[in-house]
């Protein structure tokens, strides 16, 4: 059922992800409607790679055929390679299929390799295994290692770093990542913008050796702004600006109101500005509401798109003002969002802009993030799971 994917495709998990998402929905539907189903879970992810060649996969599918052919059963392929065959009761061919499969794959006992689940009674178990296949386990928050006691820079040191940045060459420090569109019906993600961002930790190490800015937000902002000014100065000459294309620039409010950005804005011209997305942290509104209002009006007047960046679910709930009209919103995905209860889910959904094309889900490091986004109509993503492998 999967269309072969060309080797150069950046991401080939879309079909499996869609299947996982559909299976989770179906499991929930079974619970609400009480409809019974039998699910045969074929845990091919347990089988060693040696046996997982195309010939074997064909044999597995042939072995499943008696169950699928005569009934309305459906086969779902999960990320990671597991298969789930779902069939309405009495599922008379299920035992036969299990026997065939365990003959085919004798290394692992059938009760481990081929568990059978009954819906709706065991819907929770099925949902758990779907979530596991989506990479939830891999994305559980990892406690960061304790930091050695590194002091922040003095103001004089920060002044020095800002001066050094006036003439630094940032080329080696710039990182490019894609902003993608991936709808439920799409086989491959489509690039929308390329995000251009200076890699701050490397710059801190280079310009403020032995100093640490974490835990000092005001100093970190000052440093970031000086870096962004320099990046904008490098982008603003007309011959550079012409090359920009569909670009997303994450900027602090102060950087977006600097002369360097205004020069870039002028150099881009009307067509270039239409292709530019400027993402400013939502917290910048709080620090300077007047400046943010000015920037928002400027974006409407000049024709580039403004996005509220680094929006956390908690912030959106505590401060609905973060949902500024006309602006786009870059919502940061956190694995905890999958575990949120119905109330928290509903309040977050209500706080999102109704036009979900205005939402970009960032930090999509696992397929679970994509599935979470799809459940609320979000189809624009950023994250490792979408980047070329």
Partner 1 sequence: MKAKAADWRAALAATPAGGIAVFQPVNAPVAVRRVARALLEEAAILGGGQVLGFPGGDLLLGNAAGPGQRAAQAMGALTGSTPPSFPLPEGQPPVAALCEAASQATAQPGWSLAGLEAHCAQWRLEDAARLTLLESGPGGVPVAQRLGPAPLGLDDPELEAMARDWVCRRILAALTHPVERARLPMLRPGLRLILDLPLGGLGHGAPLRAGAAGDPNGPIALLPLASLADPVGFAGVAEGLRQGGWTVGLLGTHPAALDAGIAPELLLAAPAGPVPPPPRPAGLIALGRPAPAWCRGAGILHEGFA
**Shortest Cβ 104–partner 1 spacing (Å):** 52
Secondary structure of 207-223 as H, E, C letters? HCCCCCCCCCHHHHHHH
Give 237 or 289: the residue with its C-beta nearer to partner 1: 289
**Interacting stretch for partner 1, rule CB under 8 A, among 153-161, 169-177, 328-336, 355-363?**
153-161
**Shortest Cβ 152–partner 1 spacing (Å):** 12
Give 94 or 351: the residue with its C-beta nearer to partner 1: 351
Query: Is 287 among the residues that bind partner 1 (CB under 8 A)?
Result: yes
Query: Is 309 among the residues that bind partner 1 (CB under 8 A)?
Result: no
Query: Is 298 among the residues that bind partner 1 (CB under 8 A)?
Result: yes
DSSP letter (8 states) at residue 46: G
Query: Is 274 among the residues that bind partner 1 (CB under 8 A)?
Result: no
Query: Is 290 among the residues that bind partner 1 (CB under 8 A)?
Result: yes
Query: Is 344 among the residues that bind partner 1 (CB under 8 A)?
Result: no
**Interacting stretch for partner 1, rule CB under 8 A, among 30-38, 52-60, 166-174, 311-319?**
311-319
Query: Is 320 among the residues that bind partner 1 (CB under 8 A)?
Result: yes
Burial of 228 (0-12, 13-18, 19+ CB in 10 A): buried
Query: How is residue 356 written in tokens?
Result: 């979900």
Contact 247, 275 (CB under 8 A): yes
Give 59 or 319: the residue with its C-beta nearer to partner 1: 319
Query: Is 228 among the residues that bind partner 1 (CB under 8 A)?
Result: no
Nearest to 196 by CA among 256, 277, 119, 253: 277
**Shortest Cβ 232–partner 1 spacing (Å):** 12
Query: How is residue 146 written in tokens?
Result: 């304790």
Options 87, 100, 247, 283; binder of partner 1; rule CB under 8 A: 283
β-strand partners of 87: 38
Query: Is 299 among the residues that bind partner 1 (CB under 8 A)?
Result: no
Options 258, 309, 331, 368; binder of partner 1; rule CB under 8 A: 258
Give 117 or 219: the residue with its C-beta nearer to partner 1: 219
Query: Is 335 among the residues that bind partner 1 (CB under 8 A)?
Result: no
> In this structure, which long-range contacts are made by residues 124-128, counting pairs with CB atoms below 8 Å and at least 24 apart in sequence?
126/23, 126/27, 126/39, 126/41, 126/84, 127/24, 127/27, 127/28
Query: Is 215 among the residues that bind partner 1 (CB under 8 A)?
Result: no
Distance CA(246)–CA(379), nearest Å, equals 18
Give 122 or 284: the residue with its C-beta nearer to partner 1: 284
End-to-end CA distance of the chain: give it in Å, rounded. Answer: 23
Query: Is 340 among the residues that bind partner 1 (CB under 8 A)?
Result: no
Query: Is 196 among the residues that bind partner 1 (CB under 8 A)?
Result: no
Widest distance between CA atoms in the chain: 78
Integer-rounded Cα Rg, in Å, for the chain is: 25
DSSP string, 164-221: HHTS---GGGEEEEEEEE--TT-SSPEEEEEEEEE-HHHHHHHHSTT---TT-HHHHH
Query: Is 150 among the residues that bind partner 1 (CB under 8 A)?
Result: no
**Shortest Cβ 166–partner 1 spacing (Å):** 13
Query: How is residue 384 written in tokens?
Result: 């490792």
Options 288, 303, 356, 387; binder of partner 1; rule CB under 8 A: 288
DSSP-based three-state secondary structure for 375? helix
Query: How is residue 144 written in tokens?
Result: 């960061």
Options 108, 164, 266, 348; binder of partner 1; rule CB under 8 A: 266
DSSP string, 9-45: -S---HHHHHHHHHHHHHHHHHHHH---EEEEEE-GG
Query: Is 311 among the residues that bind partner 1 (CB under 8 A)?
Result: no
Give 128 or 293: the residue with its C-beta nearer to partner 1: 293
Binding region for partner 1 (CB under 8 A): 154-156, 158-159, 217-218, 221-222, 225, 254, 257-259, 262-263, 265-266, 281-283, 285-294, 297-298, 301, 312, 314-315, 318-321
């Amino acid at each position: 059922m999967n269309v072969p994917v060309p080797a150069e495709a950046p991401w080939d998990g879309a079909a499996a992800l869609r299947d996982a998402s559909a299976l989770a929905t179906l499991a929930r539907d079974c619970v609400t409607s009480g409809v019974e189903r039998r699910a045969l879970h074929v845990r091919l992810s347990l089988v060693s790679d040696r046996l997982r060649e195309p010939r074997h996969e064909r044999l597995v599918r042939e072995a499943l055929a008696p169950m699928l052919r005569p009934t309305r059963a459906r086969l779902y392929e999960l990320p990671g390679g597991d298969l789930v065959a779902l069939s309405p009761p009495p599922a008379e061919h299920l035992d036969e299929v299990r026997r065939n499969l365990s003959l085919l794959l004798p290394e692992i006992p059938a009760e481990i390799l081929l568990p059978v689940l009954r819906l709706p009674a065991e819907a929770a178990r099925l949902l758990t295994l779907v979530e596991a296949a989506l990479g939830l386990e891999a994305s559980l928050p990892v406690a960061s290692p304790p930091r050695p006691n590194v002091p922040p820079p003095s103001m004089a040191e920060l002044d020095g770093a800002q001066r050094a940045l006036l003439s630094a060459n940032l080329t080696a420090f710039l990182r490019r990542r894609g902003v993608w569109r991936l709808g439920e019906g799409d086989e491959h993600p489509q690039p929308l913008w390329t995000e251009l961002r200076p890699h701050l930790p490397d710059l801190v190490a280079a310009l403020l050796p032995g100093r640490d800015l974490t835990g000092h937000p005001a100093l970190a902002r000052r440093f970031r702004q000086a870096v962004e000014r320099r990046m904008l100065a490098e982008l603003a000459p007309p011959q550079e600006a012409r090359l920009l294309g569909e670009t997303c620039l994450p900027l602090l409010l102060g950087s977006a109101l600097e002369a360097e950005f205004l020069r870039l804005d002028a150099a881009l011209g009307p067509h270039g500005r239409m292709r530019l997305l400027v993402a400013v942290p939502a917290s910048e509104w709080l620090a300077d509401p007047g400046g943010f209002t000015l920037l928002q009006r400027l974006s409407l007047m000049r024709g580039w798109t403004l996005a509220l960046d680094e929006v956390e679910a908690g912030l959106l709930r505590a401060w609905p003002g973060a949902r500024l009209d006309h602006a786009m919103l870059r919502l940061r995905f956190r694995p905890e969002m999958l575990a949120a209860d119905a109330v928290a889910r509903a309040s977050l959904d209500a706080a999102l802009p109704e036009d979900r094309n205005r939402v970009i889900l960032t930090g999509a490091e696992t397929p679970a993030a994509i599935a979470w986004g799809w459940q609320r109509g979000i189809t624009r993503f950023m994250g490792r799971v979408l980047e070329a492998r």
